[in-house]
Structure 1
Amino acid sequence: MANRKVITVFGATGAQGGSVAKALLESKHFVVRALTRDVTRPKALELQGLGAEVVKCDLDDKALVEAALKGAYGVFVVTNFWEHCSKDKEVCQGKLVADTAKLLGLKHVVYSGLENVEQLSGGKLHVPHFDGKGEVEEYFWSIGVPMTSVRLPVYFETFLTTWKPAKAPDGDYYTLALPMGDVPMHGFSVADVGAVVSSIFNSPEEFIGKAVGLSAEALTTQQYADVLSKSLGKDVRDAKITPEAYGRLGFRAAKELADMFRFFQMKPDHDVKLTHL
């Protein structure tokens, strides 16, 4: 233990952080400091049982963040926009970690980032849950923190929740409403994030200073529908919805997600070959 470097993992009881913490524990190359707001929850106790040092932390608390990073070699950082739906708050959280990593001299930060869509589109598209992460990415690099950004595409798991097929009102089949037309959309299982991040921590010279777009594969909406048809044993079809119609669906993030799909149609850079390596 004394000879191994410490990796601090934010969001260790969540989907991304949990995958990273477990992969690092399995690799046995690092000591894992798993951060959570509630050290008594079952997932925290599970990580403790696997050998992690479980520590209470809150991204809004400067003192706790500094204590969590003190003595660490590196850190995996993930922030949750959907917890508060505030771009400004997410940027503040990310910059706090960046400033603390700089102050304490951490050697490698792996940040779960995304593109600044508003900037890339010249202000035409607004996707706050992307834009804030893009702003934080730039901040890490601007202050000289040795950082790798991993940019995840759509989670495959989302097809079981937010984007699960809906039964068509006029037929015995289901529809998949993704406003992508015939443009392939990248996808990735959140469960595989840990293996990728573990590899990045093991090869800092190859990845520090880079943004890595992850992707297991890119499929059209109908191809995703075909996969779901086989898995569910039900006929699933492309709903052929447009971004304009999607933005009018009425739920809280409809317009934001419509702009996200418009950005996806611009074919952001995701490297399937590198991801599979």
Structure 2
Amino acid sequence: MAGKKAIVVFGATGSQGGSVARAILEGKDFSVRALTRDVTRPAALVLQDLGAEVVKCDLNDQEAVKGALKGAYGAFLVTSYWNDFSKEKEVQQGKIVADASKELGLKHVVYSGLENVRKLTKGKLEVPHFDGKGEVEEYFWNLGVPMTSVRVAAYYENFLNIWKPVKASDGDYYNLLLPMKDIPMDGISVADVGPVVASVFRSPEEFLSKAVGLSAEALTIQQYADILSKTLGKVFKDSKITPEAYEKLGFPGAQEIADMMRFYHMKPDRDVKLTHKLHPKVKSFSQFVSENKEAFKDL
């Protein structure tokens, strides 16, 4: 790794950060400084074995962040609203990294951002896990930090957890409870984010000061259901649930997900063609389901 420009990867033991760290290491263009709160975690040790420098760092600690970024060429930043369900905390973390990046003169930061839905819709919709990232994007650019925002589409992996198909009470089939009407919804596997980000780092002149919308493909909920049916040998259907019915489901975040779907109805910019150009092996939903049949078995 000696002599290579270093990319600092925040959240390197998480899904997105881990994908980015591995992809940059595989590309061999840069060295990787992988940041995590717990350097003894198995995921941290794996990155160390792959050649990353693993460093302990807490995103809430300004001095630790500054120390971790010292001497680096660039950084990949992903923040998580869901850890604390706090937009304010997420924005604060983003600003800490932006301030340190400006002070230390980083040449390229790639931020896992999203649109500020509240601002775009003049308060009609509120999606805090989008809105905070939108505020951070703006803060980076206003500070003059050389930054690219990658706005990632819905994860295919969501179909294994928060969007897990629900068995119908009145028949031998499964419902997909996603209030998208018949509007296509962009999707991508989180594992494919890393190779795209690595490509962005390799072409700074093309992507600095831009927002890049990532998507492997856009499908209607019935098309997602048809792929699940064909691959898993069970019947899946679009439940046709409305956003109004969805927000009454009552689980934490139901209102937020309903508003996120309303925002998806507006077709935010996600560039399938560009995503495939940056990562030609990006997986389709069909490939993802085929590769994860075991994970879908416990439906």
TM-score, normalised to structure 1, is 0.99
Shift of 1:152: 0.4
Q: Give the match for residue 52 of structure 2.
A: 52
SS class of match (2:82):
helix
Pairing 1:79–2:57 present: no
CA distance in 1, matches of 2:41, 2:254: 32
Task: Note the 1:205-220 alignment, pairs <5 A.
Answer: 205-220=205-220
Letter in 1 for 2:105: G
Displacement after TM superposition at 1:231 (Å): 2.3
- Per the alignment, residue 234 of structure 1 pairs with 234
The 5-angstrom pairing of residues 77-226 of structure 1 reads: 77-226=77-226
Aligned to 1:19: 19
- C-alpha distance in structure 1 between counterparts of 2:231 and 2:41, whole Å: 33
Identity across matched positions, percent: 72
Superposed CA offset, 1:85-121 (max 9, x none): 1000000000000000000000000000000000011
Amino acid at match of 2:266: M
Aligned-partner residue type, residue 226 of structure 2: D
Inter-partner Cα distance in structure 2 for 1:99 and 1:266: 33
Q: Which residue number in structure 2 is paired with residue 268 of structure 1? A: 268
Which letter does structure 1 place at the counterpart of 2:68? A
Q: How far apart, CA to CA, are the structure 2 residues paired with 1:4 and 1:257? A: 42
Aligned letter for 1:47? L
Query: Aligned partners of 2:163, 2:227: CA distance in 1, in Å?
Result: 14
**Local SS of the residue matching 1:54:** strand
CA positional deviation for 1:3: 2.1
1:230 deviates by 1.7
TM-score by length of 2: 0.92
Q: Does 1:4 pair with 2:4? A: yes
Deviation at residue 266 of structure 1 after TM alignment:
0.5
- Structure 2: state its 5+ residue gaps: 278-299
List per-residue Cα deviations over 1:216-237 (Å, max 9, x = no partner).
0000010010111122210000
Provide the residue aligned with 2:29 in structure 1. Answer: 29
For residue 200 of structure 1, give the secondary structure of its aligned residue in structure 2.
Answer: helix
1:130-152 C-alpha deviation (Å, 9 max, x unpaired):
00000000000001000000000
- How far apart, CA to CA, are the structure 1 residues paired with 2:114 and 2:154? 11
Using the TM superposition, give the Cα deviation of residue 2 of structure 1 relative to its aligned residue in structure 2, in angstroms. Answer: 3.0
**Aligned-partner Cα distance in 1 for 2:46–2:230:** 34
Q: Distance in 2 between matches of 1:120 and 1:155?
A: 23
Structure 2 match to 1:66: 66
Indicate the RMSD between aligned Cα atoms, in angstroms. 0.5
The one-letter amino acid of 1:269's match is: D
Residue in structure 2 matched with residue 245 of structure 1 by the alignment: 245
Tell me the matched-pair count. Answer: 277
Paired AA for residue 141 in structure 2: W
Give the partner amino acid of 1:73: Y
Q: CA deviation at 1:71?
A: 0.3
CA deviation digits over 1:196-239, x for unaligned, max 9?
Answer: 00000000000000000000000001001011112221000000
Cα deviation for residue 46 of structure 1 reads: 0.5
TM-superposed deviation, 1:195: 0.4
Q: Which amino acid aligns with 1:135?
A: E
- Secondary structure of the structure 1 residue equivalent to 2:54: strand
Counterpart of 1:256 in structure 2 is 256
Distance 1:5 1:110 in 2: 15
CA distance in 1, matches of 2:166, 2:2: 53
Distance 2:269 2:42 in 1: 37
